[in-house]
Amino acid sequence: MPLEIVRADITQLKADAIVNAANRSLLGGGGVDGAIHRVAGPQLKQECAELGGCEPGEAKVTSAYGLPARIVVHTVGPIWRGGEAGEEDLLRSCYRNALRLAERHGCNVITFPAISTGAYGYPHDKAARVAVESTVDSPLDVKLVSIDARTERHLSNAVKRWERSGV
């Protein structure tokens, strides 16, 4: 299926699955996580409270409530610690586990934010490379969503590098 880069508010995009770059508690926070919780409504927080949190690299599913999606796949990205603490493997696991859960729930279209690039400090260019490499061969229709020009540029560059590599 196609990989598409979309500059938009992820909470407004219609998809089968929306990925939430969550914190370990899954109870909402800042950035994309807070926006998803606000749009979904209080039922999302209630359901998340029953999940018992989530570890970095893992993913869990809830209903989407007020979002234009069927499900939310919550995944906890790694905090950037300089690149020598397994961050890339954890970030790759976020994407792969989210895709696996979306497939298991019969989804065709999935939207991803730029996981870990906000408060967790993952460098945008490195995160974009991992996002593209982890999703480009998915059988799902993947939309990598950027909220700003910088993220969009890094994602576009990562796609171009991947295409040139001939993988």
Report the catalytic residues. Answer: 33
Output the DSSP codes for 23-80.
-TT-S--SHHHHHHHHHH-HHHHHHHHTTT---BT-EEEEE-TTSSSSEEEEEEPPPP
Residue 113 DSSP label = -
* Residue 21: its H or E element: strand 17-22
For helices 124-135 and 149-165, angle between their N-to-C axes, nearest 10 degrees: 50
Residue pair 112/77 in contact by the 8 Å Cβ criterion: no
